[in-house]
A and B are shown apart, each in its own frame.
Chain A
Amino acid sequence: MGADNVQYLPLQIEALLLASDEPLSIARLGSLLGEETPSSDIRAAISELEARYRNRGIQIVQVAGGWQLRTAPEYADLIHQLWEIRPQKLSRSAMETLAIVAYRQPATRAEIEALRGVKVSSQMISTLQERGWIKVLGRKEVPGRPHVYGTGKQFLVDFGLDSLKDLPDSAQLMDEDEIQQMVMENIEPHEEKYETDTEKS
């Protein structure tokens, strides 16, 4: 492979990204561009493209293990006008259910209900499933063998995440034991409440 090819690599990738309707991974780009193309060259070419696309109306975004060309979020309103669409709003309860599945997967419906303190309707589950945001991963081996849910690839694509590791704030999320401990350490013994008063005076 001569230097010529490397020179055109960013342009080839740019063309592929424009024509693709799903994110293209390094491996997929490699197979399209010819197996001899070293993945380091592809990476370098993508970095170059990313730099070129900074401050543009379209962006190159790394999602779901690949790269994709998308319009910049600042121009959402314009596109809504162009397509005459008003994107559906999702209810807060649907988003909470999605968040619980995303951060806790695998999660059963009963676990989601326990966390939210409300029943989760089948309709909401199927709405999230139809969008490809959640999917059944299998069954939990407990009585009743309930379905366990996790996020689907479309979740990463639609929310602009490269992988589940990129979920915002997942490091700060406390699990049950941590919460339990935090409560034990902080809870105010209710009987001593009025004793503080005498201390003050």
Chain B
Amino acid sequence: MNQAVQAELITHESHALPPVHLDQFDGPLDMLLHLIRSQEMDIFDIPMALITTQYLGILKRQDELDLEVAGDYLVMASTLMQLKSRMLLPRPEMDVDGNEIDPRAELAAQLIAYEQYRMLAEELSERPRLGRDLFLRPIFPESAKVVRPLPEADLDGLLIAFRAVLKRVGGEVRHRIFRETMSVRERMATVLDRLSKGSIQLDELLIDEPGREALVTTLLAILELWRQQSITVIQAESLGSITLLLKEAPNGSG
């Protein structure tokens, strides 16, 4: 009796679950753990019917599902529903040794394993980190081995830097249409060749280009190489100088 009342209370509370959004979660396991832990459920005795209802409820309440993200959630939804129906079977399932198998065992193990790493990830995040909490004296002597943090540059940064170079070089203003005298493909090879000797600043690379057309061709070559993921483009600070370097082949040496 006591338990029946309690069970009802839990079901009741479930309606009052604070609204959540998928973005808050790092995947279906994260969401399940949230449901289990926030309602103080026993991970070794997960109430399948209730948790499935709650889980599907959250999915249903999403305005739109990003298909790529949703896939993982939907797989879990079907797992939950399958477990729920297996729990209803009158006779317990047996393993080869004749021991009773709880259908929920695998899910519980998966959740426990995930929870461990979720906790470790949090611990790692909170650890004082170089470049975030701790700093070195910012002097970088010229050495090939110097390791610097590599934040991502974006297209805007590249274009702003390009504009700055254009201004400095004072490119041609007259508008004429030429046949292509310089090929982007050819220029890509030159850039790659130059980068194979080591990384280079964008300014340095562009400074010797004769005139606007050469500049544009080189920029196109850089963009194309970047798109092909042959090179990496780095801007250490906003409006700072831009560095280009070769992207190492995934199975390259070192």
What is the interface of chain A, defined by CB distance below 8 A to chain B? Answer: 18, 21-22, 59, 61, 68-73, 76, 79, 83-85, 87-88, 90, 92-93, 95-96, 98-100, 102-103, 115-119, 127, 130-132, 136, 147, 154, 157-160, 168-169, 173-174, 176, 179-180, 182-184, 186-191, 193-194, 196-197, 200-201
Contacts and interface: CB of A to CB of B under 8 A. Distances in A.
B120 interface: yes
Given A117-B76, A130-B150, A157-B130, A96 B44 contact: no
A73 B42 CA distance: 39
B3 A197 contact: yes
Given A95-B124, A118-B28, A189 B134 contact: no
A116 B146 contact: no
Contact of A180 (B44, B71, B109): B109
B71 to A, nearest CB: 7
For the side of the interface on B, what is the size category? 35 or more
A150 to B, nearest CB: 14
Contact of A116 (B29, B128, B129, B151): B29
Contacts of A193: 3, 45
Contacts, number: 163
B140 interface: yes
Contacts of A127: 152
Interface of B: 1-3, 26-30, 42, 44-45, 68, 71-72, 76, 87, 92, 100, 102, 104-105, 108-110, 112-114, 116-125, 127-141, 145-147, 149-152, 232, 237, 250-251
Contacts of A61: 134
A-B CB proximity, top 10 nearest: A118-B27, A188-B45, A117-B29, A99-B121, A73-B128, A95-B121, A87-B132, A73-B133, A186-B44, A96-B121
Contacts of B138: 83
10 contacts: A70-B134, A73-B128, A93-B27, A116-B29, A130-B150, A147-B250, A182-B112, A190-B45, A191-B92, A196-B3
B129 A160 contact: yes
Nearest to B125: A95
Nearest to B237: A85
A76 B134 contact: yes
Contact of A183 (B109, B139, B150): B109
A183 B133 contact: no
A153 to B, nearest CB: 9
Given A93-B26, A99-B121, 7 more contacts: A76-B132, A95-B121, A96-B26, A98-B124, A100-B117, A158-B130, A179-B112
A147 B249 CA distance: 13
Given A21-B139, A116-B27, A183 B146 contact: no
B131 A96 contact: no
Contacts of B136: 21, 68-71
B102 A190 contact: yes
A55 B242 CA distance: 38
A115 B114 contact: yes
Contacts of A83: 138
B117 to A, nearest CB: 5
A117 B149 contact: no
Contact of A71 (B26, B42, B134): B134
Given A116-B29, A187-B104, A200-B2, A131 B149 contact: yes
